[in-house]
Structure 1
Amino acid sequence: MPLIPYDHLLQAFWETVTMTAVSGAISFVLGLPLGLVLLNTAPGGLWAHASLNRGLGAIVNAFRSLPFIILLVALIPLTRLIVGTSIGTAAAIVPLSIAAIPYYARVAEVSLREVDRGLVEAVRAMGGSQLTVMREVLIPEALPSLVSGFTVTLVLLIGASAMAGAVGAGGLGDLAIRYGYQRFNTPVMVAVIVVLILLVAAIQAGGDRLARRVDHR
């Protein structure tokens, strides 16, 4: 058997990409609206609601404060309920998504808060609805920062997916543990590290390029 099982390495690579892509998409689709709610229920927001803002903020902070490995184990019953198993790539997507949603929600909230309030007030003064303000002002103006924040979230998910390999989630982390650590196969460990570095570099470069493209200021 070769020191580096390239077929397993390729499979593990695609498993990591799948986990990161799917959980990243879920975190964007659900995290951005949650960030909008956190922003607009805060004092001075479009529909300020202090108690709702505090409640949502507390939930978001609670999930963000948990180390991923603890969250991964704690969510095993929910994972089994949703996908029917607690191991494998599909199962890992559940805790990865739940960990990433509140993280990206806070990132989006910070990005949206940086939008010039004068633009918001100008649109509202012209009769723009709350939906119009969000669609035409908040999101477009914050888009470069939202893209950059999403890039950081994807990089975070790659690290978390590798950690999930410790409990049989598949991917590069699982390969590193089973073929590298447990079998004392240093070339496998080195190969996994190199692939992870290249994957993170590619995502960061792509995210930075996209952020520049959508920045029309």
Structure 2
Amino acid sequence: MVIEKNNFKNGFNFFCLSLCAFAGLGLEALLAFLIEPFIYGKSLNEFSITESILHWVLTCIIWAVVSLVLIKAAKKKYTFDIFSYKSSIGLQNWILCFVLLAISLVIKFISWNGFKVVKEFLSNGWLKFIFQYIYYLFETILFILIIVFAQRAGEVWFRKDNIPWGGILVALTWGLSHIFTKGELLIGILAFFGGLLYGILYLVSKKNIYIAYPLIFLMFVL
């Protein structure tokens, strides 16, 4: 398929927004592995409860700023409002959404060798657990933006709106990166399929952020 010049440019703009959202996630690494170790004189896994909470709060602020900038840029420069999709979804789509959620739970259970939320609660204690899950709320926003903008790019380029372009990008970036960050091929493969599920759910929810966001959040944290 030949992509017209204007379509390539328009699609590339959205693709860049998607990559910016992914880069926004990576800004946490500057805090965790450069700035904070320099200030505290110790590595991330040695942080006190207060230092860990402060790390999550600062990360949330950074992610909130990045998210707002990208959402406003998409609306102002490219007349694309991610909140414009407000269609309700039928019973069949709701069932599909919860099937995807169930599959995600199975993947997480295998990856974590148990229930992620339970293990994190037992590991962190209630105070750190609360702040970590607030942190996940903001992280999910950037995940959604990666999916939304990549989906738009794929549709502009290839004129096919039934393929989870956003999920494919999440799978290839965030998903496969787990092979290196976790040091295990299986975890990377499972994260790859998890990323695809996020993108599929976005389509099944008819791109309705008000439906997709809470469900993808649950897929991400449970």
* TM score, norm. by length of structure 2: 0.31
- Higher-Rg structure is 1
* TM score, norm. by length of structure 1: 0.32
